[in-house]
A = this chain, B = another copy of it.
Amino acid sequence: MDPLSALQKFREYFERYVPLTDEEWQALSHYLTVDTLKKKKFYVEAGKVCDHIGLVVKGAVRYYHVKDGEEITGYFSFEDEMLSSYKSFLTRTPAANYIQALEDSVIVNLSHKGLQQACMNELLGFKMERFGRLTAEHYLICYEERITAFITQSPEERYSDLLQTGGEALYRIPQHYIANYLGITPVSLSRIRRRIMKISA
């Protein structure tokens, strides 16, 4: 993936929230970098401050925590999704989680400093602020729904729903990561799968 079409993808993503003039885009793109992240490499590591926010233009990453020496995967970002350890990025405190590339990936990054400068930019400030609000709102809604699922649904229901809504991206993820995502063990997910198989068979 060449840098120019990567940047173009970022522009398309941004303009889904806030339209830009060519001049504004010119100014904004100044603050962006196009980076590659090889499989298994880290976008963020626990204990370090996450200094950027990015858009996955190609590839996929997983978010995970380490508890009692075990990795627990909590989330994924695929093409056309933002990624960051949001709390760390927003509050400038050390991240509690790792973000690691599941595949060779291409990411368009905006550093914390770059974002600050873009927000102070006469031309861009208002639109950056608006983009930030809409992005935060978007994830707020996603998280709200996920919490609701934890409270109102059984693991089996959560998995069934995920199968319906998850799309093909699901098949790129190892089962035991999905189990973590659902809040259960891999062994338990395997049993749920067998139960569902029998019903639908």
With beta carbons under 8 angstroms apart, the residue of B67, B87, B145, B183 that contacts A150 is: B183
Residues of A78-106 at the interface with B, using a CB-CB cut-off of 8 Å, are: 86-87, 90-91, 96-97
Number of copies: 2
Q: Let me know if A147 and B146 touch, CB within 8 A.
A: yes
User: What mask results when residues 47 to 62 of chain A are scored 1 for a CB within 8 Å of chain B, else 0?
Assistant: 0000000000000000
Per DSSP, are chain A's interface residues mostly helix, strand or loop, or mixed?
helix
In the bound complex, CA of A152 to CA of B185 (Å) = 11
Q: Which of B91, B125, B148 contacts A65 (CB 8 A)?
A: B148
Known contacts A65-B152, A137-B136, A151-B72; A86 and B144 CB within 8 A of each other: yes
Q: Which residues of B contact A86 (CB under 8 A)?
A: 137, 140-141, 144
CA of A91 to CA of B129 in the docked complex: distance in angstroms? 19
List A113-130 residues whose CB lies under 8 Å from chain B: 125-126, 129-130
A180 at the interface (CB under 8 A from B): yes
A69 to chain B, nearest CB (A): 13
